[in-house]
């Protein structure tokens, strides 16, 4: 079972969309006169006025099952699963209507609820994304419903709005991360597809704590797109790609120095302005340390040269 969330402003259009079709059946309702779309809309609107400052009072959820679950589902069971889902989502003490549509191959129901509860308080939706995933997983595992085969099986043509953008970003990251041997490569590839990267830093330090991706006005945390797209996992994959692309022969000191410098440059961090341009924080400290290493190597070579001379 999977859930999709939609938040809207007006009950009228939403209710008419759900009910004014041949293959629509009301399975369950609470606090509403279900005579027709007009009476349902009227009752939703009356309660909504208890909290007039709430701009988006319409809660709209779609619960879908695999076509392989048809034998396990009846209208009554789907209504019970919808109520169980709402409880897990903490959608309680409010008006709602559960409507079944049979216009698709897979079983699914729509839930419309009032985000203004029976006491005039707002039902929050700030953590709905994570709560939805958790609730669907609990119900799917509890009743043995079919588990989907991953995002690759999702029909992109049926997606709209924010969910469509999320999968566009998912597809672009999945392709870009396969060959990216540096963050610069990765970022360049995504920018070509209109996707930007934002890093989150720990306090005022240079330590990267998280990553987000945006396309247009829509932004997602990496882990919200896919649990493999956290900063730590992406960074590990980039390092692995870099290592795999290196030649097998031993590297010279000069090559190791160049790679060390490149690694410092590629590390995503805020930049600070210097007199001759822009450099990552710690650049000058690093170059000084590097100079000391080279000086030590030169001193060591000088010592070896004198020792060879004296032994003649």
For residue range 107-125, what is the model confidence (pLDDT) as tens digits? Answer: 999 999 999 999 999 998 8
* Digit-coded pLDDT (tens) for 211-259: 999 999 999 999 888 878 999 999 999 998 888 887 655 556 566 666 6
Query: Which CATH fold topology does 2-148 show?
Result: BirA Bifunctional Protein; domain 2 (3.30.930)
Distance CA 158, CA 160 (A): 7
What are the backbone dihedrals phi and psi of residue 57, each rounded to the nearest 5 degrees, phi first?
-100, -10
**pLDDT tens-place values along the chain, 312 residues long:** 888 887 667 899 899 989 988 789 999 999 999 999 999 999 999 999 999 999 889 999 999 998 888 889 999 999 999 999 999 999 999 999 999 998 888 899 999 999 999 999 999 887 777 888 899 989 988 888 876 556 666 667 777 888 889 899 999 999 999 989 999 999 999 999 999 999 999 988 989 999 999 999 999 999 888 878 999 999 999 998 888 887 655 556 566 666 666 655 555 544 444 444 444 555 555 555 555 545 555 454 554 555 455 555
Closest CA to 310 of 296, 302, 298: 302
Distance CA 175, CA 209 (A): 23
Tally the residues of the chain: 312
pTM exceeds 0.85 = no
Query: What is the token pair recorded at 183?
Result: 């963050």
pLDDT at 274: 40
Closest CA to 48 of 118, 150, 151, 137: 118
């Amino acid at each position: 079972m999977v859930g999709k969330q939609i938040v809207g402003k007006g009950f009228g259009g939403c209710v008419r969309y759900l009910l004014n079709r041949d293959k629509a059946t009301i399975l369950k309702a609470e606090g509403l006169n279900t005579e027709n779309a007009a009476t349902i809309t009227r009752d939703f609107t009356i309660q909504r006025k208890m909290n007039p400052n709430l701009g988006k009072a319409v809660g709209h959820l779609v619960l879908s099952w695999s076509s392989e679950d048809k034998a396990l589902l009846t209208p009554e069971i789907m209504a019970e699963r919808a109520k169980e889902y709402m409880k897990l989502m903490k959608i309680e003490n409010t008006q709602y209507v559960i409507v079944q549509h049979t216009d698709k191959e897979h079983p699914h129901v729509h839930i419309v609820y009032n985000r203004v509860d029976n006491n005039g308080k707002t039902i929050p939706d700030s953590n709905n994304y994570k709560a939805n995933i958790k609730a669907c997983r609990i119900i799917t595992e509890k009743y043995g419903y079919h588990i989907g085969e991953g995002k690759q099986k999702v029909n992109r043509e049926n997606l709209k709005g924010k969910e469509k953008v999320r999968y566009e970003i998912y597809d672009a990251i999945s392709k870009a991360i396969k060959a990216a041997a540096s963050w610069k490569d990765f970022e360049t590839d995504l920018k070509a597809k209109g996707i930007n990267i934002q890093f989150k830093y720990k306090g005022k330090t240079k330590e990267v704590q998280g990553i987000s991706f945006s396309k247009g006005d829509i932004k997602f945390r990496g882990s919200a797109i896919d649990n493999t797209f956290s900063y730590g996992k992406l960074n590990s994959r980039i390092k692995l790609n870099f290592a795999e692309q290196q030649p097998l022969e031993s590297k010279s000191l000069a090559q190791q120095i160049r790679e060390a410098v490149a690694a410092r440059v590629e590390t995503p961090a805020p930049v600070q302005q210097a007199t001759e341009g822009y450099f990552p924080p710690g650049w000058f400290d690093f170059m000084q340390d590097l100079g000391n290493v080279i000086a030590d190597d030169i001193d060591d070579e000088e010592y070896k040269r004198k020792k060879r001379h004296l032994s003649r």
